[in-house]
Amino acid sequence: MRLNAFLARAGVASRRKADELIKAGKVTVNDAPGELNTFVERTDVVRVDGRKVGKSALRHVLLVKPRGTIATASDPRGRPTVVDLVRGEIRVVPVGRLDRDTTGVLLLTNDGPLAHRLSHPRYGIEKVYVADVEGEPGDEALAALATGLELEDGRTAPAGVRLLGPSQIELTLHEGRNRQVRRMLEAVGHPVVRLRRSRYAGLPAGRLRAGDWRELTRDEVRRLRQLVGLS
């Protein structure tokens, strides 16, 4: 396991923050300075500022993100983050992003390999969104969303599209570009008024309300790992 992933799983910091600790010379492996490309074996001794750390048990959490929270492990501006909402001694970080004003299903974990694969475009993890939009989308707009649109960062992949009401659309995506749903709907002339993610990798919110969270079951974790080819 790479050193930054080890530190993240141990609850020391996110991978990005772990890299900063390593660069600052605060991390040792078997009393030697850790490097960004250091791999940690089971018998290795890792210390941060002289304090020995070990891997925490794996934890997988499903959260319904409320509006106004930041989907990151920390925020330099001091705004509330999704990590602040999840109690427990074992630290977890979000898998992927939801923008500040988007609500809905978000997975948090310290399972580095699983998080990496769930976030990687190669695995095409399904994400389902429900958007309230301006105006009433017609057949032309729905067809454009379904077949793909030219955005500033390239053409979008085909999407599942369902009209839930005159001004409400369900979009099913298998890619995860920055603010993609909002940009797609703006491109067809129906900007988002309200947006939530109703399902991620097959996991629905269920009875959870905004700000609520729960631990995933063993069967749910097993299914996620199978989905991305992990044993």
Alpha carbon 169 to chain centroid, angstroms: 22
Are 18 and 26 in contact, with CB atoms under 8 Å apart?
Answer: no
Residue owning tokens 């298998």? 174
Are 175 and 121 in contact, with CB atoms under 8 Å apart?
Answer: yes
Are 112 and 5 in contact, with CB atoms under 8 Å apart?
Answer: yes
Q: Kindly state the helix (H) or strand (E) to which residue 29 belongs, with its residue range.
A: strand 27-29
Distance of alpha carbon 157 from alpha carbon 147, whole angstroms: 7
Listed in sequence order, the DSSP H helices in 90-198 are 112-119, 139-147, 180-187
* 99 a catalytic residue: yes
Q: Euclidean distance between the first and final Cα of the chain, in Å?
A: 16
Alpha carbon 106 to chain centroid, angstroms: 6
AA identity, residue 68: G
Residue tagged active-site, from 99, 101, 111, 219: 99
SS3 218: helix
Are 110 and 8 in contact, with CB atoms under 8 Å apart?
Answer: yes
Residues catalogued as catalytic: 99
